[in-house]
Chains A and B, each alone.
Chain A
Amino acid sequence: MTEWVLIVDDEAMIRENLKAYLEDEGWRVAAFESVAPALNWLRNGDPCRVCIMDMRLPDIDGNTAIRALHQTHPDLEFLIHTGSSSYSLPEDLRAMGLDDSRIYHKPLADMAPLAAAARRLAARGDWP
């Protein structure tokens, strides 16, 4: 079976590259440039377990988006892919179970670790 992964990033080439890489890895990828269409897709689309979230987005910032998505889809796991070097996780996000290992700084010279992490998170969701 092929898992869905949700990508939210306003940088088209980043989005495209991630999508290409993860598709090559066997994922079904839904990529959006902002949070609102992503939410729409989640509401209507197939179940999705992993979301790769950029922090600086055109409509709302990444942290808020994570909170909102977590609210509606508590099963969704997040990986943070940010261009900001000074990013640190807010406390409430940590309370959701996020930690520094979820943070991936741009630029990613190798996307393999990110893909591996996504796979681990998706697999974790299967067991309970």
Chain B
Amino acid sequence: MPAPSPSSIPSSPPIASAPRRHGAWRLFYWGLALVAIIGVAIATVLDPLDYYEILLDHWLDPARGEPDGFTAMLRHTLWLLVWLGVVAIAALLWSWLLRRQVALRTRQLLRELNERQQVETALRESEARFRDVTEAASDWIWEMNEHLRFTYLSERFYALTGIAPDHVLGRARWEIGVADSASDLERWRQHRKLLEQQLPFRDFVYRTQLSNNQNTGRYLKVSGKPIYDVQGRFLGYRGTGTDITEQIRAETALQESELRLRRIIDLVPHMIFAKDRHGRFLLANRATANAFGMTVDDLIQHSHPFVHSVAEETERMLGDDREVIDSGTPKFIAEETFTDHAGQARTLQTIKIPFIEPGLNETAVLGVAIDITEQKRAKEEVARMRLYLKNIIDSMPSVLIGVDPWGYITVLNQPAEQTSGMSWEAAQGRFFGDVFPQLDGQFEQVRQAIRLGRPIKTPRMTLDIQGELHYADVMVYPLMADSASGAVIRMDDVTARVRIESMMVQTEKMLSVGGLAAGMAHEINNPLGAILQGSQNILRRVAPDMPQNRAVADAIGIDLDQVHRYLEQRQIPRFLEGIREAGARAAKIVADMLSFSRHSEPHFAMVNLEEMLETVLRLAASDYDLKKKYDFKRIAIERDYDPALRFVSCDKTEIEQVILNLLKNAAQAMAEESTPTPVITLRTRREAEHALVEVVDNGPGMDEKTLKRIFEPFFTTKEVGAGTGLGLSVSYFIITEQHNGRLSVMSKPGQGARFSIRLPLPGREALP
């Protein structure tokens, strides 16, 4: 009979003792069976057939005789042994069967045991895993009984929340939770209903009134499902929970921060926006939304081309966006136009910066646009005003120089630029004395004006401009506006005025001479008449050829011829002639003086200038005067007539007199100094408002002292008796007073003289 294979039996200790027990019994049975077999064999050998017959007979017919005793006994014993053997074999058989059953069963049990062990191990492992998970998990495990009261909380609960489990166990969830608002209350109601209905739930978030000792209230998130026993009886809930306080706080903080950010960007009056490559708005503040006439939320859902009606602007702005996105570098747009939803054109100053929107892979553009419309308008207004003010100061004929308290130039007007030959920009920041050397000495006045807070005037400053004497009035005004931050130097070239003033002084002088002359003319003319007429009569009455003289001489008996010879020898006629000439000269002086008075109305007419000059030249040529030692015919005359100037309006006689006087003076001056090749140039020019007639000689010229006084009455350089000293002053009077013109002279010693007559051109007088 096959023994169970040891390999099939796990060698676990409790199972190992079983075969040894079975082995002892088997030996016993084997022994018993062996005895029976041996007995049967002996019996058979002794009486193999008889015995059985007897035995059978005995059994079947016990009454049939009794064998002898021993044999009978042996027989009985043999039979007993046979039976015993049979029994033993049967027992062995039974035992074998039984053992076989036992082995099967054992194997089964072993298998079962093994399986159970495995399950137990798995269970233990599972438990361990569960425990590990429970302990290692971020969440905790909770359990509730059927009354929905907490019965269990894993250790993590305390670790995570800091709340002692004692405060929680035995209480329902709603006893430890708080509702902050009506919506919270409603949530609680639903949660409780859910629990009471024994339904699973997930992610119920609530705030506990319990707290760790640091913070009040913890936010817990719990999920759970009902548990039932084998019979399906509700045992309560089991689930997990986690503390999301930090998360909630972080979320709240994030929300708050976002809200704050949103509020901030909404408060900013500038347009803040973010757009993707396609112009879709990712972010926009209220200013941006307002510009498009939308709400922020509406705008976010749209793209730029959809909300912006001016295609041209959209094109440009999107182009800029793309440029920033593609280049990855910010772009500053100093000025761009933008038409808002109301159709109002605005000027924006925009900066666009590339940025990566979180959760978006591609680069977007973040823009900040500042509305500079008003600024620009103000700037333009300032610029316009500045230009206007500049125009004003530029229109001033005065030289205006703005300087700071240290004399450095801040402003120049146009006349100042012209005078210095330097532009405002170039002169700015330079010391005014360097730019205007003629004003170098004015720094003291600048300082004084600022210190005293009142203007300082320097009248009639003499300047040498390219060798010409100029006069300037210089005023230094302190700038009063903000605590005397400088001064303005005003310089007026008053040369013309000074000349006019001196001209007027001259004229006044002449007029007073004229008035004086008019008053005394009558008184002087009568005695002069007596002198002159007397001389004439004397000369006539001593003349021998006059019949009356001869008649008187005859009557008194003297020889007239002798008388005449006597007179001749004694030079009487010569003296008389001298008396007559002196009288005539005195009469001429009085007549000249009288011409200074304003009595006579000049007889103006249009005069051909060239013809008049030629007439004067003829007159001058015939004015050969031995006594005055000049011969006009020796002088070369050059004519330089302007063909554009033909007629002038003047009193012909008077102008002729003036020019003749100038020609005579020139001839006389050249004759006195014996100029080797005397030349007089007669020049006419048409100027803007004047007809210019110049008489230029190459004679000895004049020094400055002479020039200053040349038009004064009775001033003469000629030797006594050669001139009255009134010729030029009369000329001056005729030109300036009667013709409203100008008579000027330019000369330097040794360089000749140039007399310029300027007569107003007709038609110009009508101007104010």
Which A positions have Cβ atoms within 8 angstroms of B? Answer: 11, 13-14, 17-18, 20-21, 23-24, 56, 82-86, 105-111
Residue of A83, A110, A111 most packed against chain B (CB within 10 A): A83
Residues of A close to B541: CB separation below 8 A: 20, 24
Residues of B close to A24: CB separation below 8 A: 537, 540-541, 546, 548
For this complex, 20 residue pairs linking A to B, each with C-beta atoms less than 8 Å apart, are A11-B530, A13-B529, A14-B529, A17-B529, A17-B530, A17-B536, A18-B533, A20-B537, A24-B541, A83-B523, A83-B526, A86-B594, A105-B525, A106-B526, A107-B526, A107-B529, A109-B532, A109-B536, A109-B587, A111-B536
> Which of A21, A56, A106, A111 contacts B528, CB < 8 Å?
A106
Among B528-582, those with CB < 8 Å from A are: 528-534, 536-537, 540-541, 546, 548, 580
CA A20 – CA B535 in complex, angstroms? Answer: 12
- B198 CB to closest chain A CB (Å) equals 146
Decide if A109 touches B584 in the complex (CB within 8 Å).
Answer: yes
Residues of A close to B583: CB separation below 8 A: 107, 109
Decide if A108 touches B533 in the complex (CB within 8 Å).
Answer: yes
CA A85 – CA B528 in complex, angstroms? Answer: 14
Residues of B close to A82: CB separation below 8 A: 522
Which B positions have Cβ atoms within 8 angstroms of A? Answer: 518, 521-523, 525-534, 536-537, 540-541, 546, 548, 580, 583-584, 587, 590-591, 594, 597, 599
Knowing A11-B530, A86-B518, A86-B597 are in contact, say whether A107-B525 is a contact too (CB < 8 A). Answer: yes
- B166 CB to closest chain A CB (Å) equals 143
Decide if B597 touches A11 in the complex (CB within 8 Å).
Answer: no
CA A20 – CA B546 in complex, angstroms? Answer: 13
Decide if A14 touches B548 in the complex (CB within 8 Å).
Answer: no
By beta carbon, the residue of chain A nearest B591 is A85
Residues of A close to B532: CB separation below 8 A: 107-109
- B632 CB to closest chain A CB (Å) equals 25
Residues of B close to A111: CB separation below 8 A: 533, 536
- B196 CB to closest chain A CB (Å) equals 143
> Which of B533, B548, B597, B599 contacts A107, CB < 8 Å?
B533
Residues of A close to B529: CB separation below 8 A: 11, 13-14, 17, 83, 106-108
Residues of A close to B540: CB separation below 8 A: 21, 24
> Which of A14, A21, A85, A86 contacts B526, CB < 8 Å?
A14
Residues of A close to B518: CB separation below 8 A: 85-86
Knowing A24-B548, A86-B597 are in contact, say whether A107-B536 is a contact too (CB < 8 A). Answer: no
By beta carbon, the residue of chain A nearest B597 is A86
- B522 CB to closest chain A CB (Å) equals 4
Decide if B533 touches A14 in the complex (CB within 8 Å).
Answer: yes
Nearest 7 pairs between A and B by C-beta? A13-B530, A17-B533, A107-B529, A83-B525, A107-B528, A83-B522, A106-B529
By beta carbon, the residue of chain A nearest B531 is A107
Decide if B536 touches A110 in the complex (CB within 8 Å).
Answer: yes
By beta carbon, the residue of chain B nearest A14 is B529
- A106 CB to closest chain B CB (Å) equals 4
CA A82 – CA B525 in complex, angstroms? Answer: 9
CA A68 – CA B548 in complex, angstroms? Answer: 36
Knowing A24-B540, A107-B531, A107-B532 are in contact, say whether A85-B546 is a contact too (CB < 8 A). Answer: no
Residue of A21, A23, A56, A106 most packed against chain B (CB within 10 A): A106
- A29 CB to closest chain B CB (Å) equals 13
Decide if A106 touches B599 in the complex (CB within 8 Å).
Answer: no
Secondary structure dominating the interface of A: loop
Residues of A close to B594: CB separation below 8 A: 85-86
By beta carbon, the residue of chain A nearest B594 is A85
- A56 CB to closest chain B CB (Å) equals 6
CA A46 – CA B485 in complex, angstroms? Answer: 99
By beta carbon, the residue of chain B nearest A15 is B530
By beta carbon, the residue of chain A nearest B595 is A85
CA A11 – CA B594 in complex, angstroms? Answer: 22
Decide if A17 touches B580 in the complex (CB within 8 Å).
Answer: no
Decide if A21 touches B537 in the complex (CB within 8 Å).
Answer: yes
By beta carbon, the residue of chain A nearest B548 is A24
Residues of B close to A84: CB separation below 8 A: 521-522, 525
CA A42 – CA B241 in complex, angstroms? Answer: 164
Residue of A85, A86, A108, A111 most packed against chain B (CB within 10 A): A85
CA A14 – CA B536 in complex, angstroms? Answer: 12
Residues of B close to A106: CB separation below 8 A: 525-526, 528-529
CA A84 – CA B526 in complex, angstroms? Answer: 9
CA A20 – CA B540 in complex, angstroms? Answer: 10
Residues of A close to B536: CB separation below 8 A: 17, 21, 109-111
By beta carbon, the residue of chain B nearest A55 is B522
CA A24 – CA B533 in complex, angstroms? Answer: 13
Residue of B523, B533, B584, B597 most packed against chain A (CB within 10 A): B533
CA A66 – CA B534 in complex, angstroms? Answer: 27
Decide if B580 touches A13 in the complex (CB within 8 Å).
Answer: no
CA A56 – CA B522 in complex, angstroms? Answer: 9
Residues of B close to A11: CB separation below 8 A: 526, 529-530
Known: A83-B523, A106-B525. 7 other contacts (CB 8 A): A13-B529, A17-B529, A84-B521, A86-B599, A108-B529, A109-B532, A109-B587
By beta carbon, the residue of chain A nearest B530 is A13
Residues of B close to A56: CB separation below 8 A: 522
Knowing A83-B526, A106-B529, A108-B529 are in contact, say whether A13-B534 is a contact too (CB < 8 A). Answer: yes
> Which of A21, A83, A85, A105 contacts B533, CB < 8 Å?
A21
Residues of A close to B526: CB separation below 8 A: 11, 14, 83, 106-107
Residues of B close to A18: CB separation below 8 A: 533
CA A11 – CA B271 in complex, angstroms? Answer: 110
CA A122 – CA B303 in complex, angstroms? Answer: 124
Residues of B close to A83: CB separation below 8 A: 521-523, 525-526, 529
Residues of A close to B521: CB separation below 8 A: 83-85
> Which of B523, B530, B580, B597 contacts A109, CB < 8 Å?
B580
CA A83 – CA B525 in complex, angstroms? Answer: 5
Residues of A close to B597: CB separation below 8 A: 86
- A5 CB to closest chain B CB (Å) equals 15
Decide if B587 touches A107 in the complex (CB within 8 Å).
Answer: yes
- B553 CB to closest chain A CB (Å) equals 14
